[in-house]
Amino acid sequence: QKEVEQNSGPLSVPEGAIASLNCTYSDRVSQSFFWYRQYSGKSPELIMSIYSNGDKEDGRFTAQLNKASQYVSLLIRDSQPSDSATYLCAVIRGKLIFGQGTTLQVKP
Amino acid sequence: ETGVTQTPRHLVMGMTNKKSLKCEQHLGHNAMYWYKQSAKKPLELMFVYSLEERVENNSVPSRFSPECPNSSHLFLHLHTLQPEDSALYLCASSPLGGGEGEKLFFGSGTQLSVL
């Protein structure tokens, strides 16, 4: 079982819709969770971090964490074509472990 | 432009060449990292330096040799590479020392092709 698992996609949503990106992790003791965005040909950049169960909102982005289900998600409201990128889920387990990323395509 | 700069941006080398990748961070951070990103694979941690001491060597082949002369600079020396080493090599830094909850700041990467 992969330590951090994401569906590679691509996930295609129309402009203005909600994009839902999901991530599961294998180690129950993980405490810190991150979402990075990586545009094609660019380096990853941190967009959200979440440490406790529940929702954390930042503008159009909402991170959701459910430790009992070992599940973390990222919701992007009012998706824009500029949100088209690969979204990497990362979990701390002694060190930062990345998933392979989900490619999001927002179509005008 | 981020506070972490990497050179060169692109590198093509033969299997018998020796080359070095350079990373410099302007953020005053204490930890620096090398990651490898291959197509369709997760980012793989290669090395971690905290306060110029290597704290992680993630079973990386000896043909990759890191060097951290000070907290602002990190090098990755390459020799006798294989074609499967072709990938994007990313440098990152973090503020405190690589502990739990640390957020990483990435450079733009070096796209390496080994012929």
Task: Express each pLDDT in B93-106 by its tens digit.
Answer: 988 755 555 788 99
| A88 with B102: Cβ contact below 8 A | no
Strands, DSSP E only, in A1-108?
4-5, 11-14, 19-25, 33-38, 45-50, 54-58, 61-66, 71-76, 85-93, 95-98, 102-107
Q: Hey, is B39 helix, strand or coil?
A: coil
| Amino acid, single-letter form, for residue B101 | G
Q: Is B52 on the interface with A (CB under 8 A)?
A: no
Give tens-digit pLDDT for A41-81.
889 999 999 988 899 999 999 999 998 999 999 999 999 99
Using CA atoms, how far apart are residues B102 and B107, in angstroms rounded to an integer? 16
**Residue B13 C-alpha from the chain's centroid:** 17
Cβ contacts of A14 within 8 Å, gap of 6 or more: A79, A106, A107
pLDDT grade for B61, boundaries at 50, 70 and 90: very high
Q: What is the mean pLDDT of residues A87-102?
A: 89
pLDDT grade for B16, boundaries at 50, 70 and 90: confident
Give tens-digit pLDDT for B73-85.
999 999 999 999 9
In this prediction, residue A60 carries a pLDDT of: 97
Q: pLDDT above 90 covers what percent of chain B?
A: 68
Q: Is B43 on the interface with A (CB under 8 A)?
A: yes
